[in-house]
């Protein structure tokens, strides 16, 4: 199983970016997929999750109404559209896949996920 991330980079505050994460090795249509981020000197934190139950998405309060998580099961890919970016969104972003199919949990904790992408740097300048 491999998760390959793309997107990210440098953007001015108020701008937008899209992150992509393509999974290979198996189909993840029955798995919750998520995004986390880690800023320098801080712990990895939950950003958003897209449940295996179609249409259900969960967001951290800090990104709600600005970020949108979506997935394309045919492409085994999860996306994170980030809008109205703020300097405090600067971090390395990681995609993740839940530990089991049809997993139901809080989705907020890193130990609920077994597979991780390589990380993508996002820098938002003020």
Does 54 have pLDDT greater than 80?
no
Average the pLDDT over 7-27 and give the result: 95
Least confident of 44-48, 83-87, 99-103, 114-118: 99-103
Confidence of residue 4 (pLDDT cuts 50, 70, 90): very high
> Where do the DSSP E strands lie in the chain?
2-7, 9-12, 17-24, 33-38, 45-50, 57-59, 67-72, 77-82, 91-98, 113-116, 120-125
The pLDDT value recorded for residue 41 is 95
**What does pLDDT average to over the chain?**
95
The pLDDT value recorded for residue 25 is 87
């Amino acid at each position: 199983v491999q998760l390959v991330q793309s997107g990210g980079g440098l953007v001015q505050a108020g701008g937008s970016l899209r992150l992509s994460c393509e999974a290979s090795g198996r189909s993840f249509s029955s798995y919750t997929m998520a995004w986390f981020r880690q800023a320098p000197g801080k712990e990895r934190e939950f950003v958003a999750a897209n449940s295996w139950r179609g249409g259900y998405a969960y967001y951290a309060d800090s990104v709600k109404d600005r970020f949108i998580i979506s997935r394309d099961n045919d492409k085994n890919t999860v996306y994170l559209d980030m809008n109205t970016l703020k300097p405090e969104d600067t971090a390395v972003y990681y995609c993740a896949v839940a530990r089991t199919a049809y997993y139901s949990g809080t989705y907020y904790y890193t130990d609920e996920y077994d597979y991780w992408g390589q990380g993508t740097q996002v820098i938002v300048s003020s």
